[in-house]
Amino acid sequence: MTASQTAHPPAWNLDGLVAKDRSARLDLEASADGIIVQTNSGDDHLLGLDLRVSPSVNVPPVDHWVRGGDMVAVYRPSDPRRLEATAMWRRLSCDRLAWELVLSAQTALVESDGSLAVTCDVESGDVAVGHSNGGTLRWSPLADAAACPPEATNLLVHRADDAVLIAVHPSDARRIVVTPRNGRVHIACWLFSAAIEKGVLHRGRVLAAIGPKESTTWADALISTFVATPPPLSA
């Protein structure tokens, strides 16, 4: 039984292209902004979708629907890559503010560049990297954002009042890039290889959650369940 199956999470309420649950807002036309959550540290933007088009261009979905606790949207940017991305945002059933994004990509071309990024933009704090050691997570400070280890899949941003967890499923991760920006930290989780062929479907998963800063027990538990969860059959 997966984290998202242990209970029935609240369904998204959809008004046009804006989806809301009890504590978050998601504008499907501004997918790069991700899930917007208000916290004591300010607005967090979690699990945004970087379609690699101009930042000034919003890409509305060509289709979207709510399925149970999942908000699904399909994007086809009009750029030379001819890439179709299907994003499924789901609220996890736990006692935290926690969401998962399942992202799929395919192309109509014989071959194209299939790389995409899932982004989080949050109030700045002390960033730690989680390393797996015999099945146990060990967290160590990230002294230099530019030196994020290439094998990193788990990050924690410790702030004054809380902590933000960003985790990429280890079978899906390509690289994580951490960039400080004007009192905030931008985290880009790059997925998929650069090359994708027609008829091939790429799929990846990223988790984001907010919890207490005093302990990492909650983050360790979420990651453990996340890693053990089999990939969804559809998105």
Q: Is 168 inside any structural domain?
A: yes
pLDDT by residue (tens digit) across 26-66? 999 999 999 999 988 789 999 999 998 877 678 899 999 99
Over 70: is that where the pLDDT of 234 sits? no
Mean pLDDT of 71-95: 90
Q: How many domains does the chain have?
A: 1
Q: Is 135 inside any structural domain?
A: yes
The string of DSSP codes covering 183-226 is TEEEEEEEES-SEEETT--EEEEEEEEEE-SS-SHHHHHHHHHH
Q: Which residue range is the domain that position 107 belongs to?
A: 3-228
* Distance set, CA 150 to CA 84, 129, 194, 219 (Å): 27, 11, 16, 21
pLDDT by residue (tens digit) across 151-190? 899 999 999 999 999 999 988 878 999 999 888 999 999 9
CATH of residue 200's domain is: 2.70.98
Alpha helix locations (H) across 63-171? none
Q: Is 70 inside any structural domain?
A: yes
Over 50: is that where the pLDDT of 3 sits? no
**Other beta carbons less than 10 A from residue 14's beta carbon:** 15
Residue 211 in tokens = 């919890």
d(CA 194, CA 143): 29
Q: Is 82 inside any structural domain?
A: yes
pTM of the model: 0.90
Q: Is 235 inside any structural domain?
A: no
Q: Is 193 inside any structural domain?
A: yes
